[in-house]
Amino acid sequence: MTQQNNHISATEPDWTREEIGHFWAPGLKLLRSIRRYQSWRARKGVFARIAAKYWAVVHWFWSLVTQSEIHAHQKIGGGLRLPHPTGIIIHPEASIGPNCMIFHQVTVSGAVQVGGHVDIGAGAKILGPLTIGDHAKIGANAVVLSDVPAGATVVGVPAKVVKQQA
């Protein structure tokens, strides 16, 4: 989200960000498989178990295509964007807030709590446990070792705050 849109609640997901607009959209299809798996897994009955298994296989396929490791049980807020979904690794205990954007080759290790509207640049490494506040920006190839305040931009190895939004 841009600075002009920061008045939008960090907890309200923009589901239009996850709409599949064309055939080859591996990031969106990976997300869809996670959402559908979680939906069917929460239901009861034989058909629900079969549907959950189907979506688990679909998830496996898109994980293989993208070479990403985002678990089917991952806690992910709505509106996640994966513009280049290759090589993204997210620890199963990590949670991603709504309307975030994660670029390629990002690693989120440990129990990291990512707030809403967070942008994570290509190749960033986030080594938790730690918390990233709402509307934060993580620069490309940054190595984040400590909490990031809301509205901050961090870059470097180790990542340091270079800009703080008012």
CB atoms within 10 A of CB 166: 5
Segment holding 142, helix H or strand E: none
pLDDT score recorded for residue 12: 86
CA distances from residue 166 to 17, 90, 113, 131, 133 in whole angstroms, order as listed = 26, 30, 22, 19, 13
> pLDDT band at residue 21, thresholds of 50, 70 and 90?
confident
Domain boundaries, the chain: 7-164
| 128-145 pLDDT per residue, tens | 899 999 999 999 999 999
Q: Rounded to 5 degrees, what are φ and ψ at 61?
A: -60, -50
Asked if 140 contacts 159 with a C-beta cutoff of 8 angstroms, the reply is: no
Digit-coded pLDDT (tens) for 30-41 = 999 999 999 999
Work out the mean pLDDT of the chain and round it to a whole number.
Answer: 92
Of 157, 111, 116, 115, which Cα lies nearest the Cα of 130?
111
Distance from C-alpha of 146 to C-alpha of 150, rounded to nearest angstrom: 13
Rounded to whole angstroms, the Cα distance separating 22 from 19 reads 9
pLDDT in tens, 110-119: 999 999 999 9
- Superfamily of segment(s) 7-164: Hexapeptide repeat proteins (2.160.10.10)
Q: Are 34 and 59 in contact (CB under 8 A)?
A: yes
